[in-house]
Structure 1
């Protein structure tokens, strides 16, 4: 099982924003530099997150991005379910199933349960869980060179 880069980057953006001091806006440029990923791709991710209500974007010279709700309200399972509605673990779970044993195979049922368990485990976590104050959050800030003034 593998999440798309789009979802991976969405999670990274939310983590980055969750590490910011309350009220501080982060720019696409600084997030892309922190993770060393494409600004263009991050822009698409940010637009999707904004459209879905996960982040707020402020335009202009002093603009940037911030979480739209407290990190504790941003559930990772819900986000992944929204961004990966067709999370197919095998061909039989996708739209173009050409597997000849599919009508009588129980693998699809097992994989469906595994996918649901994966989403359920993610559903036990929020952005706040990933960015909670402590050694790990401090280390993340250091890796990403986040300075909260």
Structure 2
């Protein structure tokens, strides 16, 4: 790739980032992660041992149902990343990640998935991160006073 091509690519990426903003960029990330999870549930890898997390999730709903939920969430996030109104995307992504976190944590507590506390902590943390980002204003006036002074 030539240097001029890289410069053009960077310029276009900056323009897109300004258009999408912090919230939209976060939704693009969450949308891509959700799409990967959906795909992984449609075609789970064949391991030599059972996947306890998948077994736990399948006891609640078939993995294909979970895949559809993740795919819908991915679509909503990827579309709403380009709009000012993005509440539905943040709500869907937050609800699904928190639900997964609680399911994994419940599996650890009941002994169904002893290592589920790890996934539970990750998913609950991710849901908390989404909740935090959903409260950020995309644009706002510059602060008139330094932080800590009132």
TM-score > 0.5, shorter chain as reference: no
Tell which has more relative contact order, 1 or 2 (C-alpha 8 A, sep 6+). 1
Q: Which of the pair has more CA radius of gyration?
A: 2
Choose between structure 1 and 2: higher helix proportion. 2
TM-score (normalised: structure 1):
0.29
TM-score (normalised: structure 2):
0.29
